[in-house]
Copies of this chain bind each other. A is one copy, B any other.
Amino acid sequence: MTMVDLPAAVHIGAGDLPFVDIGDGSVLKVIQVKEAEGLWILENVFQAGYAVQRHKHTGPVYAYTTSGAWKYDEYSYVNRTGSFLYEPAGSIHTLRVLEDDTHVWFQMYGANLNLDANGDVESVSDGASTLGVYLALCEQAGLPRPKVIRD
């Protein structure tokens, strides 16, 4: 066994990628997108009142919360500092942020099918589209192109 050609771990320090504003002071960082596999990993710091339209996941999602408070309208539990949330493929919910400076990492597979009031798909968010938004917002903010981990 030799170290030649071994795949190496990739480290992204807290300051290595910029946050961009996604409205009312809530911010987004895209850390990794394996488009071919459908994997996308995001870091958000949300402010109270931030909401994400009711959506259905086509793959599983794993959420790690390190500060603040957020919940799904459809359920009573609240994600707080130290919470872990497992969202199986097929789960449907509406995200709402309860406190300022709510910090969450999301490890997501597949797409978010954003649903209208009838339960029909109004739009779709996935790793590729979210990466596009992130890169555009970085460019608009005059930031250098961030080195998101890619395939």
Contacts and interface: CB of A to CB of B under 8 A. Distances in A.
Contacts of A75: 8-9, 11
A126 B14 CA distance: 29
Interface residues of A, number: 60
Interface in A31-55: 31-32, 34-38, 41, 43
A92 to B, nearest CB: 6
Contacts of A1: 92, 115, 119
Contacts of A87: 9
Contacts of A7: 35-36, 88-91
A124 interface: yes
A59 interface: yes
A151 interface: yes
A15 B77 CA distance: 13
